[in-house]
Amino acid sequence: MRFEVLILGNSSATPMFERHPTSQVVNYNEQLFLIDCGEGTQMQLSKYGIKSNRIDHIFISHLHGDHYLGLVGLVSSMHLVGRKADLHIYGPEPLKEILELHFKYSETVIRYQIIFHPTNPEKEEVIYESRMLTVSSFPLIHRIACTGFRFDEGKRAATLIAEKVEELKIPKVFFASIKKGIDYEDPQGNKYPACELTLPAPESRSYAFCSDTVRHPIYLKSIEGVDLLYHESTFLHDMVDRAKETFHTTSLEAAEIAKETHVKKLLLGHYSARYRTLQPLLEEAQHIFPKTELSVEGKWFLV
């Protein structure tokens, strides 16, 4: 099953040096989720070959413009291209009023249903759940109410041993039950334990998105042990005072957080417009946490 993240925008408040405000797509088994929706998101979706009407769930971390000002345009375009499926939007409660005001004064009647789910900036909550994926929101510490999001994969099925299945000529109709641990019995009454026909199930995977936040222990348990952590890294650490003043994080702090929470890989992002070259942020983080990468627009990152 695919589980990967496409970076659409990795800049902070000001889009600079061909970098766009925050936005990214999570692809879980061909189900697409959008996280944040800065200006230009719908253009970035088009640029990288993502059809917006494949997105049924949008998560907005907070109401600073570089994280949501592209939302009205995206939602309106979905309307114009004939969307009919429900669209679920998760975000701060005032976002519902913002959307309604835009549509009221533009005299726009959206032809599909928008289902709004207010997030809670005070505690961790499950906000989406399917058979194989759970999404939780958790509090971050920013100048205004802000949440992060964690995607957790459910228990994965075991893998069939193809050679044994072919040798025994087991019909495909039994594959799913064998993967679930149910023994197979052939027409002659011979029983074959599922554990002898399968390899152990792959480990479940997880992804956490930490939007704008000052370094704080409140969210560390929420990101503990994830396979991939995206964490804002607006400044180099020589500007740590400025980071604290603006409720942001340095690349060094992001690396220390990744190390402390035992994540497998760190992805930096939300770069300040003051940095044309990003290599210094990467090097600063890798000195603390070697398994760090720069988020790059248009690149897919495996979870």
Give the angle 10-11-14 at the CA atoms, nearest 5°.
160
d(CA 248, CA 233): 7
Residue 64 token pair: 């600073």
- 66, 86, 183, 241: the catalytic one is 66
**Based on C-alpha coordinates, what's the Rg of the chain?**
22
| Strands annotated E in 147-264 | 147-153, 159-160, 184-185, 191-192, 198-199, 206-210, 228-232
Task: Indicate the pairing of strand 87-91 with strand 55-59.
Answer: parallel
Task: Indicate the pairing of strand 3-9 with strand 23-28.
Answer: antiparallel
DSSP assignment of 64-125 equals SHHHHTTHHHHHHHHHHTT--S-EEEEE-THHHHHHHHHHHHTT---SS-EEEEE--SSS-E
DSSP-derived 3-state class of residue 269: strand
Q: Tell me, yes or no, if 66 is annotated catalytic.
A: yes
Residue 152 to residues 4, 28, 70, 166, 197: CA-CA distances in angstroms? 12, 10, 27, 33, 27
Residue 183 token pair: 């023994």
Nearest to 289 by CA among 205, 204, 229: 229
Give Cα 13 distance to the centre of its chain: 20
Cβ(208)–Cβ(149) below 8 Å? yes
Report which residue type is found at 8. Answer: L
Which residues are known to be catalytic? 66
